[in-house]
Structure 1
Amino acid sequence: MNEQQRKEMSQIKQRDAADRKSGQDKPLQEKTSSDFAKYFETTYEPPNLNKARKRGRDKVNVHYDFGIPEDIENIGVGKKFLIRTYGCQMNEHDTEVMAGILTELGYESTNNTEDADIILLNTCAIRENAENKVFGEIGHLKPLKLEKPDLILGVCGCMSQEESVVNRILKKHPQVDLIFGTHNIHRLPQLIKESFFGKAKVVEVWSKEGDIIENLPKVRKGKIKAWVNIMYGCDKFCTYCIVPMTRGKERSRRPEDIIQEVRHLAAQGYQEITLLGQNVNAYGKDFEDIAYGFGELMDDIHKVDIPRVRFTTSHPRDFDDHLIEVLAQGGNLLDHIHLPVQSGSSDVLKLMNRKYTREQYLELVAKIRKAIPNATLTTDIIVGFPNETDEQFEETMTLMAEVGFEAAYTYIYSPRDGTPAAKKTDNVPMDVKKQRLYRLNDLVNKQSKESMKRLENKVVKVLVEGESKKDPDVLAGYTEKNKLVNFKGPESSIGRIVEVHVTEAKTWSLNGIMVENTVEVN
C-alpha cells in the first residue's frame, strides 16, 4: 500500500467513525459471538411468524437515486468476483443485481475460485438440503481463505435472514467476512467498504424489508432471456414456508417502471422475459392510489413488442378471472402456466394454510382450460407433509392425473425452523415418504412422456439459447410450452426463434430437425 492509499484509507475510516458516532451509518461489526448475541438481544429482530402475520401495510417508498460513493467507486479495479447462486429465480435475479453493483465498483467476473478477490454465496432457505450445500461450500472455501487472507468471503440471501444461520456462521465459520440479507442488497458498496478497510466481521441483516430501489445496475445472463422482478415478498404464510420471513411483506413495483424495463429489454433484442415474484398474482394489491393488478400489467405488457412473456410463481388463490381473460389473448403471452398445488387433499391444503380446496383448484383449472384450451399446466407438489395419510397422498395422485400436469417439481417435506409446520409431530416414516415420492415421480414422468409424444412429427417454434450441454454440435432451446428441444442447425440461429420438426420424443426433451424458414421476429 502506497502513501496515497494509506491517506485515502485513513480519511475513509475517519468519516466512518464520524458517521457511526452521529448515528447516520451503522454497519454491524461484531468481533465475537458473545458480542453478536448481545446485539441480537437489543437490535436485531430475527424472523418472527406471529409478528409477521400482524405486520401492517407500512408505506413503501420508491427510490431512483442509487449510486456508487465517490470514495470507493474504483475499489474493485484489478480485482475479480465470483457469486454462487442457490435456490429460486428470485435469487438468480438478485445475483444479477449484485454482479451489476460489483461491476460498477470495478470488479471483473470470474468462474475460478482461485482468481476471485470476493466470493459471495447467494443462499436459499426453502429446504434443508439447500442450507447443507451452502455450509458445505463454506467449509470447502476455508483453505482458500487461509491461503488468501485478503479474500472477502460473504454469505447473503435468504439464509442470512435466519437467526440460527447467522449464529452458526459466527460461532463455527470465522472464515466468513461478510453477512447480509435480502433487503439490503443496495447497500453492497458500503458493506464491501467496511469489509475491505475493517478488520472485523461485517454483519448487516435488516428485519424490516426496506423500500424499493429502482435504478440498481444489473449484469444479465446472456442477451436472449431476462428476468423482470415485478414485486417482492409474500403475505400468504403457508405453514411450511419461511419466505414471508426471509423476503418480507408484499411490495409491488410501480407499473410504469416495470413496463419501461420491458420496453428497454425489447429494444436491446431480448426475445423472452419472465416476470418474477413470490406470488405474481398478488401484484398491485398493496397499491393505495390506483386499482391496477396483475391482469392489468399483463395486458399492458401484451402490447410491448417482445416475442415471449412468461411469469412465475402463481398462487391459485389469487388467479382471478380477469387474468385468465387477458392470458387468453395469446400473442406474446404464452400458454404455459405454472400453478403450484402442493397437495391434492383439501385436508392437507388446510393444514398448509393454502386457503383453497381441491375442488376450488380443479374449478380454476377448468376455467383456464375453457378460456385457453391448449394451455400447458405444470405444478409443485410436497409429499410427506406432517401426518399425511395414505388416503390423502392418493388424492394427490388422482389430482395429478385428473389435471394432466405435463411436469412437476416434487419434494419430500422439509421442516423449516420458525414455521408452524415445523412444530407438528410427524408420524410418517421416511421410507414411506420416499415410496410416495417414487410413485409420484413415476406418474409425473409418464405424463411428461405422453405430452412429449404428442409433439412427434409436428413443427414447434424454438427459441434457440445455445449449444446443448451434452453435445457442442447440437443446439438447444425451448418451445412456447417450455419443452426442451435439441437439434442441429447453424450457430447464426442462436438468439432467434426457429421452426423445428420434431423427430423423436423423450421423457423430458425432444429431438428434431430445423426447417429452413425461421420465425421472423421484429
Structure 2
Amino acid sequence: MNEEQRIQQAGINQVDNNIERIKNTKSDDMIAKYFQTSYEAQSPDIKKARKRLNEDVQIHYDFAIPEDMATIGKGKKFLIRTYGCQMNEHDTEVMAGILTEMGYEATSDTNDADIILLNTCAIRENAENKVFGEIGHLKPLKIEKPDLIIGVCGCMSQEESVVDRILKKHQHIDLIFGTHNIHRLPQLVKEALFGKEMIVEVWSKEGDVIENLPKVRKGKIKAWVNIMYGCDKFCTYCIVPMTRGKERSRLPQDIIQEVRHLVAQGYQEVTLLGQNVNAYGKDFEDIEYGLGDLMNDIHKIDIPRVRFTTSHPRDFDDRLIEVLAKGGNLLDHIHLPVQSGSSEILKKMNRKYTREDYLELVRKIRKAIPNATLTTDIIVGFPNETEEQFEETMTLMEEVGFEAAYTYIYSPREGTPAARKKDDVPESVKKQRLYRLNELVNKQSAASMKTYKGKTVKVLVEGESKKDPDILAGYTEKNKLVNFKGPRSSIGKIVEVEITEAKTWSLDGVMVENTVEVN
C-alpha cells in the first residue's frame, strides 16, 4: 500500500470509528455539551462587532494548499449546494477552487460525492428550514457511505443556535465552519478525514483579507469580483454584521489586477460585489479612495460591462454618481434597496435615511443619468407596520418608478433587535400587503418592458433558454432578460436583438442579421 492509499484508508477507518462512536454514545447531550463549550467562546457578539477596529485586519498573499493535502482528493468528487445571495455564490466558487486544487472533481450527483458542503444563508427563516431539511435527507446516505464527509458552512454556521442544533440532533455532520475561515478548507478537510470528533471551527473575529484564493467560476462570460467583506450598518432586521463581520475592503490594485485577469480570459461582464458595496474604501486609513474612484479606474479597462451590488442608499455618494454618469462600460442599471417607503419604519429598521433622503438621492441619480433603470428590495409587514405606513411604500414605488423589485414579508432572525419586537400585524394582513405590492411591481415591470417593443437592444448572450434549448437567452445593459433565436456561435458575445414581444419579466426578439460582437 503506497502513502496516498494509506492516508485514504486511514481516513475511511476514522470515519467508520466516528460513526460507531455516535451509534454507541449513551448521551448525545454530553457530546453536544463538549462541542458547545468550544463554540461558545467564539460565537458572534454584536457588541464586540460594533467596537471592532479596522487595523485588526491584515492582508495575506501567501495562500497555498498544504503539501500533504495537494493530492488527497485524487479520484474523489465534491458537491457544493449553495443557498442565498451572490456572496454565497462567490464563496462557493472559492471553495470549489480550493477543492479542485486538492485533486477533487465536481459532481452534481449526491451519490457520487465524497464531500458534500452545504453553503448556507441566514437571512431568511425559509432558507434555514431548507438547509435542515437537506441535512436530514443526507443522513441515510451517510449511513450507507460512512466515508462521506458532510459539511455545513456559510452564514448559518455563524449562528450559535444553529451550531447547537446540529451538534445535538445531526451528529452525522462531520464539519462545521463559518464565513471567515474558508481559506482553511484544506486543513478542515484533513481534520474531518483523520480527526476523532466532529470538526467545529467558527470564528467570531472577522477573518483577514486573503488574496490569491483559487476560484472555479460558473461559465466564462460573467464573473463576480468581491471588493469587500462584511457590513457596518446594523439594520435591526439583518444578521449579516454578525455572520459576515464588519467591513473590510480589498486594496484597489488587487481588485484591478483581478478584473484585468478576467478580461484576458475573455469575460464580458464583471459585477463588483459586497454586502454594502458603496461603503468600499471607508475603512482605509492611509488613502481616500471609494467605490466611485474604483469604478473610475475600472471604467478605463477594456471590458464591455461593469455592474455592482448591493448598494446602501446612505453610502451612495456624489462621486459615485459623477463616475457612473460617464457611461461606457459602467451600466446604468442601479439596484438600490429602499426596504420601506415610510420614514418611521426606516427609523425602526435603523436604515439611517428618510423617505425624503431616498427620493433626493433618486433625483440626483436621474439628473446625472436620465435613462437610469432603478430596481429595489422591499420588506412588508415589519413589526407593527400600519396600513398608512404600507401605503407610503406603495406611493414610493410609484413615485420612483422602480422597474423591478425583490419583495419579502418580514422574517424575524434570532439575534437581531427586530426579533425582540412584539408584532400586532396579523399574518393574513402581511400576505395581503405583499400581494398588493407584487401587483404594483408587476404592473410597473410590464409597463417598462412595453417600451422596448420594436427597439434594438444589445444582449450579452449567456446560453440556451431554460425553457427551450432552441432559444438563446441573455441580458441587456439594463438587466432585462431577452429570449431570441440565433446561432450558438453568439453565446458569450454581445449581439443586437430587435424586440418583437414584451412580457412582464422578459422580452422576445429576433437577432439582427450580420450583427457583430460589441466591445
- Same fold at TM > 0.5: yes
Query: Is the 2:153–2:178 contact (alpha carbons within 8 Å) kept by the matching residues of 1?
Result: yes
> Which amino acid in structure 1 is aligned with residue 37 of structure 2?
K
The verdict on how the C-alpha distance between 1:9 and 1:441 changes in structure 2, with shifts beyond 3 A counting, is closer
Where structure 1 has 5 or more consecutive residues not aligned to the other structure, the ranges are 13-29
Separation (CA, whole Å) in 2 of partners of 1:415 and 1:155 = 22
* Equivalent runs, 1:435-446 vs 2, <5 Å: 435-446=432-443
1:306 paired with 2:303, answer yes
The residue aligned with 2:260 is: 263
| Residue from 453, 458, 464 that aligns with 1:467 | 464
Q: Superposed, which structure 2 residues align to 1:296-445 within 5 Å?
A: 296-445=293-442
Query: Residue 309 of structure 1 contacts residue 332 of structure 1 at CA under 8 Å; is this kept in 2?
Result: yes
Aligned residue for 1:32, secondary structure, equals helix
**Correspondence list, 1:501-520, <5 A:** 501-520=498-517
Q: 1:64 and 1:35 mapped to 2: Cα distance?
A: 35
Give the letter for the 2:256 counterpart.
I
CA distance in structure 2 between the partners assigned to 1:221 and 1:166 by the alignment? 30
Aligned to 2:195: 198
Q: Give the whole-Å Cα distance in 1 for the aligned partners of 2:118 and 2:433.
A: 33
SS of match in other structure, 2:496 = strand
| Correspondence for 1:183 | 180
Deviation at 1:289, TM superposition (A): 1.1
Show the 5 A alignment for 1:225-236: 225-236=222-233
Query: Residues of 2 paired with 1:448 and 1:230: CA distance?
Result: 30
**Corresponding residue number in structure 1 for 2:35:** 36
Q: Deviations over 1:436-468 (max 9, x none)?
A: 000000000000000000000100100000000
Q: How far 1:50 sits from its partner (Å)?
A: 2.5
Tell me the equivalent position of 2:167.
170
> Residues of 2 paired with 1:31 and 1:354: CA distance?
43
Partner of 1:68: helix, strand, or coil?
A: coil
Deviations 1:89-137 (A, max 9, x none): 0000000000000000000000000100000000000000000000001
Aligned-partner SS, 1:408: strand
Tell me if the contact between 2:73 and 2:103 (Cα under 8 Å) persists in the aligned partners. Answer: yes
Q: What SS is found at the alignment partner of 2:212?
A: coil
Counterpart in 2 of 1:295? 292
| Distance in 2 (alpha carbons) for counterparts of 1:228 and 1:443 | 33
Q: 2:246 aligns with which of 230, 249, 252?
A: 249
Distance 1:107 1:436 in 2: 48
Residue 214 of structure 2 corresponds to residue 213 of structure 1: no
Cα 1:318/1:147, change in 2 over 3 Å: same
The answer (yes or no) to whether the contact 1:78–1:106 under 8 Å persists in 2 is yes
Give the alignment's Cα RMSD to 1 decimal.
Answer: 1.5
Q: Distance in 2 between matches of 1:487 and 1:5?
A: 51
User: What is the Cα deviation at residue 72 of structure 1?
Assistant: 1.4
Matched with 1:150 is 147
Q: TM-score, normalised by structure 2?
A: 0.95
Q: Is the counterpart of residue 451 in structure 1 residue 451 in structure 2?
A: no
Q: Which amino acid aligns with 1:437?
A: L
Partner of 1:70: 67
SS state at 2:215 partner: coil
* Structure 1 residue 197: Cα displacement: 1.4
Q: How far off is 1:181 after superposition? A: 0.2
The alpha-carbon deviation at position 37 of structure 1 amounts to 2.6
Alpha-carbon distance in structure 2 between the residues aligned to 1:48 and 1:394: 36
Number of residue pairs matched by the alignment: 502
Give the aligned residue type for 2:329.
Answer: N
Q: How does 1:100-179 map to 2 (within 5 A)?
A: 100-179=97-176
Equivalent of residue 94 in structure 1, options 91, 94, 102: 91
Partners in 2 of 1:145 and 1:11 — Cα distance? 18
What TM-score does the superposition give when structure 1 sets the normalisation length? 0.94
CA contact (8 A) 1:9 1:197 kept: no
CA contact (8 A) 1:463 1:479 kept: yes
What is the Cα deviation at residue 200 of structure 1? Answer: 1.6
Whichever residue aligns with residue 250 of structure 2, its letter is R
Cα distance in 2, alignment partners of residues 507 and 3 from structure 1 = 61
Rounded to whole Å, the distance in 2 between the matches of 1:470 and 1:253 is 39
- The one-letter amino acid paired with 1:145 is K
Q: 1:265 to 1:4 in 2, by over 3 A?
A: closer
Distance 2:249 2:469 in 1: 41
Matching residue's letter, 2:155? C
Q: Distance in 2 between matches of 1:102 and 1:316?
A: 37
Q: Distance in 2 between matches of 1:239 and 1:266?
A: 39
Contact 1:282/1:318 (8 A) holds in 2: yes
Q: Which stretch shows the higher mean deviation, 49-58 or 464-473?
A: 49-58
SS of residue matched to 1:235:
coil
CA deviations over 1:287-319 (Å, ceiling 9, x no partner)? 111111111000000000000000000000010
Does the 8 Å contact 1:181/1:204 carry over to 2? yes
Q: Contact 1:461–1:519 (CA<8 Å) still a contact in 2?
A: no
Change (3 A) 1:337 1:279: same
CA contact (8 A) 1:336 1:375 kept: yes
CA spacing shift, 1:392–1:119, aligned 2, 3 Å: same
